Structure 1
Amino acid sequence: MSPASSNLTPQSDTPLHTVLVVEDEVLVRMVIADYLRECGYRVYETVNASEALAVLQSPEVSIDIVFSDVQTPGDMDGFRLARWVRANKPGVQVVLTSGVERSAEIASTLCEAGPLLKKPYPPQDVVDRIRQLVAKAKRS
């Protein structure tokens, strides 16, 4: 899917930062993406890690934060996506989320702000985590 697709169009005029939401459950993705937009973020949405890679590799798009479910359909899960981001996009922060509790230990090694957010999560927790990442990046 190309960044020009309708579900990848940024919605905010003056974004704080750009967040890539990777979530295959459409209602979950819509709720968090809409909430992030309301909070002033530019948001791109993808269904899986393959689509996320296309956005991350697009020269027209600059992503600050990847917010991804651990379990995504396709060849690459959220952990592999996070590893790819760390290896290829060092300035991009990663937040992982999962409904599977054992995922937290693995996520703690891949996410700059510690373990993942457990599903179901309140949307404000996502914004708080993003703010932590931004503040930490500014101090570095």
Structure 2
Amino acid sequence: MENQAKQNETILVVDGDIITRTVIADYLRHCGYRVLEANDAHEAQLALQHQAFHVDLILSDVNLPGDMTGFQLSNWIREHQPEIKVLLSAAEERTVKAAGDLCEDGPHLAKPYDPAIVLDHIRRLRGGSAQR
């Protein structure tokens, strides 16, 4: 039953590092989620504005390529699609703390992260029991 519920949920993974993005996206697919991938904030915005895609949660790196950071993408999402939960990740400890402070509805992740820990955070966010 839990796997069927996951199949109805879509996660958008936004990360400029193709290896990191592919590994976590494949892991989440294996766990039963539909997963979209974006290299940068611009691609993420295009996916979010496309009528064919319904995204439930975004997992984004803070340091994205291009002219928009993960923080800025998170703010854009809050303004345009506030129902979408955002989970930010970063390689530096202080950036992780700042991401956690910005992303008030969820936990924060330090990279490199264990895919099982990411899945745990996603489950808590989707279940409404995320703790800070």
Q: Smaller-chain TM-score range? A: 0.7 to 0.9
Deviation of residue 16 (structure 1)? 4.1
1:94 aligned residue (86, 94, 101): 86
| AA of the residue aligned to 1:53 | Q
Q: Give the structure-2-normalised TM-score.
A: 0.88
**Structure with the higher fraction of residues in helix conformation:** 2
- Structure 2 partner of 1:113: 106
- Structure 2 partner of 1:6: none
Aligned length: 123
Separation in 2 of the partners of 1:73 and 1:18?
A: 23
1:85 has 2:100 as partner: no
- Structure 1 partner of 2:19: 27
Deviation of residue 17 (structure 1)? 1.1
Q: Give the structure-1-normalised TM-score.
A: 0.83
1:37 has 2:29 as partner: yes
Separation in 1 of the partners of 2:114 and 2:35?
A: 18
Separation in 2 of the partners of 1:53 and 1:120?
A: 25
Deviation of residue 104 (structure 1)? 2.6
Query: Gapped runs of 5+ residues in structure 2?
Result: 1-5
| AA of the residue aligned to 2:37 | E
RMSD: 1.4
Moved over 3 A (4+): none
Identity between Structure 1 and Structure 2 (%): 44
Query: Gapped runs of 5+ residues in structure 1?
Result: 1-13
